[in-house]
Structure 1
Amino acid sequence: MHPAMHTDRERCVRAVQSKDARFDGVFFTAVLTTGIYCRPSCPVVPPKPENMVFHPSAASCQRAGFRACKRCRPDTSPGSPAWNARADTVARAMRLIQDGVVDREGVPGLAARLGYSTRQIERQLLAELGAGPLALARAQRAQTARLLVETTAMPMADIAFAAGFSSIRTFNDTVREVFALAPGELRARATRAPAGVPQTPGVLTLRLPYRAPLNPDNLFGHLAATAVPGVEEWRDGAYRRTLALPYGHGIVALTPTPDHIACRLSLTDPRDLPIAISRCRWLLDLDADPAAVDDQLQTDPLLAPLVAKAPGRRVPRTVDAAEFAVRAVLGQQVSTAAARTHAARLVTAHGTPVDDPEGGLTHLFPTPRALAALDPETLALPRSRRTTLVTLVQALADCTLALGVDSDWAEARARLAQLPGFGPWTIEVIAMRGLGDPDAFLPTDLGIRRAAKDLGLPSTPAALTARAAAWRPWRAYAVQYLWATDSHPINHLPA
């Protein structure tokens, strides 16, 4: 789906009239006669076409003076899939804003990370999204505030602080302006907790929306099968892990359900809530557009049966690209079990201890700076692998290599290729799961080659790459479908 879809009036009107949920988050409908804005799937009777105007973002609607619909809650729709599929400056800026950079570092910090002036960034975002970085960050703060008002018993002053507002007055004014209700009225309208979800003091219970379909098997199966002891675990039907966050740390439990991901979060500092949610959505690839992905992959007659059998596969990602790069090196040419063992040793020796009253998590994954101090002789790895790991953590620690949601995918690949021990497989798996490139591809992977051969696809890397050109820009999703033909535990929800 093209990010400029809001300019295609005829297509937008059709989507609204058919209440097509596939376009939720892709564009927003503002109604001139009521002054409210909605998601395309809003259940109310669609307005007359002449009363509809279309915007590319909730922030753009708010900037134009429209208030969020109380029925369809457009501010809580899945994020735009455009930011997943693109590597340009606007997409990188949006990923950073969702990661809370504007709230922590301001617009100058956002611009510096992207290598542009503040004026250039503001101009590009305004041109494409109808709102600048401050307005986009404000819309996100409003959404976080609403979530806390409606789902917790936190005092309003604490919510204002946690959502990133500079004062109680700004919080009150923004909530009234965006939702046409005072914070107290919002809470009164949402006095009940989500059905069947027990509320625990100090634990936030949230629903993470996504575009259907979503196949949880390989997504949660992969995370559970590769879980690093102490940092991650599968417990009571949920994937749990520790999170290192800007202001403190957290523990999250993520459970797949038929229409959302149930999320239980405990945080040492409530200001980390927006970034924790953003990283959980990123981890589970929840802003993907499965219809666009699957439609493209089904054009290949040999892939089509796999997609039809289990549609909606996501790419299991990570909450920290640097962590994933370290784990990718530890996993080179060894079994899943051996990789977990190597990682667990690093965690025990160099990770920060945490308390987990609800389970068996013990540590945060060690930072590159902490790992830069390790003695390579203590690593039970071949000498060449030790060199690869030590060189990587040093480059990450001294910031000569930066890996994150804002990475330029081509530049990150080039920098990784300059390090010893980084071949095509390691670079592409980091691009796919660490950086979120939806077109990363692993033609040399043995599991991929075996699956390709069994399906009648070319199995040599060069021939498979040529065939896979037709799968672009979704080759990382094709990898998930091909991997899933194997009986490995990564492809199944744990019992």
Structure 2
Amino acid sequence: MRVHDDFDRCMRAVNAKDSRFDGWFYTAVRTTRVYCRPSCPGMPPKAENMAFFPSAAAAQQAGFRACKRCRPDASPGSPQWNARADLAARAMRLIADGVVDRSGVPGLAAHLGYSVRQVERQLLAEFGAGPLALARAQRAQTARLLIETTELPMSEVATAAGFGSIRTFNDTVREVFALPPTALRQRAGRPAAGSGVLTVRLPYREPLSADQLFAQLAATVVPGVEEWRDGAYRRTLRLPHGHGIASLRPAAGHVQCQLTLTDLRDLSRAISRCRRLLDLDADPVTVDDTLAADPILAPSVRKNPGRRVPRTVDGAEFAMRAVLGQQLTTAAARAHATRLIAAHGESVRDPIGGLTHLFPSPQTIAALDPELIALPRTRRDTLIGLVTALASGTIDVGVGADRDRARARLAALPGFGPWTVETIAMRALGDPDAFIPSDPGLRAAARELGLTSNTNSLAVRAEAWRPWRAYAMQHLWAISERLAR
């Protein structure tokens, strides 16, 4: 049974104001025509006046407006959308990445490999709304962010948020937030002007092991594309309408995200990619409960609850970096990537001067004379095979990719073994169950814990950790790192 279909379970969550369910479902009140997060601080209404929806879009389609107090449109996304690999989840990831705004529903269907009718039917059944309504809900959230955090004229806000006309923009904002755009801005207070930087809060479900997450990102930064500065992870972003720079810093109850964008139409895509990078839509309680059931992992889970799997903002970039890092130390992999970026990356301007390039695209590398790529021949051939497949579309490692198909096609490339395939599956494809029993660090941790380090036996033991084996690896790698110190 889907969460929103279990009325009693939803009522218990609402009465307890349980923030773990924010984003899993939305609660609506028939008498006030308002929809909220389950954790809304207001007094719970009578049960007979309540209805539950699987998405904000479904609540909006049913004629409910967003609560002004709990701001349900800013909830973390459902953990199902990133964890699952089926059609509906792939479609939601693509909608969050702006495919409907750029290519319409036919473009979404073509990317998924299904007919428009099949996609619309599946999303309506799963989320209570079709792709247009889901994209409209996202546009409304983007509009609110721009209205409240910038001094852009409303006509520019409408364009940046993806609305086709100022009239549609005005009507949507009034319908969703029960206020016209100008009143929404006045209610938020006067935004800071002139900096060119948008600051937003990225919510998540507690707990979050932020130190672990940001330490992993900081340990593998590639100069020019990434940096760790003054307690923040910063990196460049390749976006549909231009480029951007993101600065991410852990804060109390949220991650502070500062964005500098060359085109504000990319705002929602940049936010979505930053959330995905930090795995902020995960359900840590469910993950930890599963892993803590194993007495071997239980002490690590109790000590560091809420571990996340760092993902990526660009699947193709990560796949290339995985090839560059095959059987090398972090420092050696960084050196290869740095040379590639300096020679073939696209220059960008960073207002504070630390970042210089976008990572080269697969199309850029595929078009080069191989002799210009400063890598050992075997590694160069492996990279060329990958970028050729990525540039032609033969392999897709983006947010809406079919994970099984991508794995199979990666494994068929020369130079791709299980370590590289599963690393890409974990970080680029976002598979929460990706697992690499042959990884040296994993085997070292297994020996320390009294587990067998035999690859086949370790894989059998890891069956108990499904479907969260990628999270189990985070705990085991942390143990391995302590052993190495």
Matched-pair contact (CA < 8 Å) for 1:224–1:490: no
Which residue type is aligned with residue 74 of structure 2? T
The residue number in structure 2 matching 1:359 is 353
Q: How does 1:188-199 map to 2 (within 5 A)?
A: 188-191=186-189
Matched, 1:266 2:266: no
The 3-state SS of whatever aligns with 2:77 is coil
The residue number in structure 1 matching 2:330 is 336
CA-to-aligned-CA distance 1:109-130 (integer Å, 9 cap, x gap):
0001111111111111011111
Q: Post-superposition shift, 1:488?
A: 6.8
Change (3 A) 1:367 1:380: closer
Change (3 A) 1:286 1:199: farther
Q: TM-score of the superposition, structure 2-length normalised?
A: 0.98
CA-to-aligned-CA distance 1:411-469 (integer Å, 9 cap, x gap):
10000011001000000000000110000001111011101111122211111111110
Matched, 1:182 2:180: yes
Matched, 1:387 2:381: yes
Matched-pair contact (CA < 8 Å) for 2:340–2:374: no
Which residue type is aligned with residue 274 of structure 1? S
Matched-pair contact (CA < 8 Å) for 2:208–2:306: yes
Match among 28, 47, 50 for residue 49 of structure 1? 47
The residue number in structure 1 matching 2:17 is 19
CA-to-aligned-CA distance 1:173-197 (integer Å, 9 cap, x gap):
000000101111111111066xxxx
The residue number in structure 1 matching 2:395 is 401
Matched-pair contact (CA < 8 Å) for 1:401–1:415: yes
Taking the aligned partners of 1:151 and 1:460, their CA distance within structure 2 comes to: 54
CA-to-aligned-CA distance 1:231-265 (integer Å, 9 cap, x gap):
00001111000111100100110001121000110
Matched, 1:297 2:295: no
Taking the aligned partners of 2:70 and 2:5, their CA distance within structure 1 comes to: 22
Which residue type is aligned with residue 25 of structure 1? G
The 3-state SS of whatever aligns with 1:328 is helix
Deviates more, 1:158-167 or 1:199-208: 199-208
The residue number in structure 2 matching 1:435 is 429
The residue number in structure 2 matching 1:161 is 159
Change (3 A) 1:339 1:291: same
Q: Post-superposition shift, 1:199?
A: 6.5
Which residue type is aligned with residue 454 of structure 2? T
Q: Post-superposition shift, 1:486?
A: 3.4
Match among 8, 11, 21 for residue 10 of structure 1? 8
Q: Post-superposition shift, 1:403?
A: 1.4
Match among 338, 360, 369 for residue 363 of structure 2? 369
The 3-state SS of whatever aligns with 2:253 is coil
Taking the aligned partners of 1:412 and 1:473, their CA distance within structure 2 comes to: 19
Which residue type is aligned with residue 259 of structure 2? L
The residue number in structure 1 matching 2:312 is 318
Taking the aligned partners of 2:482 and 2:155, their CA distance within structure 1 comes to: 49
CA-to-aligned-CA distance 1:138-169 (integer Å, 9 cap, x gap):
00000010111112222111111110000111
Which residue type is aligned with residue 104 of structure 1? R
Taking the aligned partners of 2:158 and 2:14, their CA distance within structure 1 comes to: 34
Matched-pair contact (CA < 8 Å) for 2:241–2:266: yes
Matched, 1:278 2:272: yes
Matched-pair contact (CA < 8 Å) for 2:3–2:25: yes
Q: Post-superposition shift, 1:487?
A: 3.5
Matched, 1:469 2:463: yes
The 3-state SS of whatever aligns with 2:248 is strand
Q: TM-score of the superposition, structure 1-length normalised?
A: 0.96
Taking the aligned partners of 1:226 and 1:355, their CA distance within structure 2 comes to: 22
Taking the aligned partners of 2:368 and 2:258, their CA distance within structure 1 comes to: 34
Change (3 A) 1:105 1:298: same
| Structure with more relative contact order (C-alpha pairs < 8 Å, separation 6 or more) | 1
Matched-pair contact (CA < 8 Å) for 1:222–1:489: no
Q: How does 1:211-226 map to 2 (within 5 A)?
A: 211-226=205-220
Which residue type is aligned with residue 307 of structure 1? V
Q: Which runs of 5+ in 2 are unaligned?
A: none
The 3-state SS of whatever aligns with 1:134 is helix
Taking the aligned partners of 2:78 and 2:482, their CA distance within structure 1 comes to: 32
Matched-pair contact (CA < 8 Å) for 2:339–2:374: no
Taking the aligned partners of 2:186 and 2:482, their CA distance within structure 1 comes to: 49
Give aligned-pair identity as a percent: 70
CA-to-aligned-CA distance 1:64-102 (integer Å, 9 cap, x gap):
000101111111100000112210000000000000000
Taking the aligned partners of 1:416 and 1:199, their CA distance within structure 2 comes to: 47
Matched, 1:256 2:254: no
Matched, 1:486 2:480: yes
The 3-state SS of whatever aligns with 1:6 is helix
Q: Post-superposition shift, 1:398?
A: 1.6
Matched-pair contact (CA < 8 Å) for 2:94–2:399: yes
Aligned length: 485
Matched, 1:246 2:240: yes
The residue number in structure 2 matching 1:234 is 228
Taking the aligned partners of 1:192 and 1:276, their CA distance within structure 2 comes to: 24
The residue number in structure 2 matching 1:34 is 32
The 3-state SS of whatever aligns with 1:426 is helix
Q: Post-superposition shift, 1:224?
A: 1.3
Q: Which runs of 5+ in 1 are unaligned?
A: none
RMSD: 1.5
